[in-house]
Amino acid sequence: MKKLAMEESLKTATQSTLVKKPAERGPFDSTVLAELEKCFAAKLQELEAALASGKPDSEARAAAVLGAQTALEAAEARQSAASAGLMAQKELQKEAAAQVKADKAACAAHKPEYKKATELRDAKHLVCPNHLIQITDRSKQQQNNQQITTNYDLEHV
């Protein structure tokens, strides 16, 4: 009742009228109730007008919320896809790191053999230091390697 626009005298009369049972109310009470009903109708119209005037803004806000929801869902889908891609790349990185580790171990295991082959090559180079031999035929290359080895063995015996 405090928010209704009505005269002070009507407020006071309304309180005493509403306390009475309907059978006990007189013509003055009926007039007070009629005025109260007019105040309620005016307040109702005021609220309906406020709702009607706010409807376009409300619809615009609802559309903005819908647009934001759609954008959120799209962003969440992109984030989910990016997360899955990241996990796949991390798995590939683990596999690649394991392969690098295995390759390094294989390389380390091959070092003694490589060292022997390098020493043999260098020793053969000493046997023929002034000759540059390029052999393309495989059998000739093997024959030449055998001859160089034999020459080296004979010189160091």
Give the helix ranges, DSSP H, for 4-26.
Answer: 8-19
Q: Which two tokens stand for residue 12?
A: 């006071």
70 vs 56: CA distance, rounded Å: 21
39 vs 13: CA distance, rounded Å: 14
Instruction: Quickly tell me which residue has 């307040």 as its tokens.
Output: 43
Contact, 41 vs 54, CB < 8 A?
no
pLDDT in tens, the chain (157 residues): 666 777 788 888 888 888 889 888 899 989 999 988 988 898 899 899 988 898 888 889 999 999 999 999 999 999 999 999 999 999 999 999 999 999 999 989 999 998 888 888 877 765 555 555 554 555 666 676 677 666 656 665 5
70 vs 77: CA distance, rounded Å: 11
Q: What is the value of pTM for the model shown?
A: 0.42
Q: What is the pLDDT of residues 15-40, one digit of tens each?
A: 888 888 988 889 998 999 998 898 88
- Best CA proximity match to 119, nearest among 144, 152, 141: 152
Polymer length of the chain: 157
Q: Which two tokens stand for residue 26?
A: 């007189």
Say which amino acid occupies 66.
L
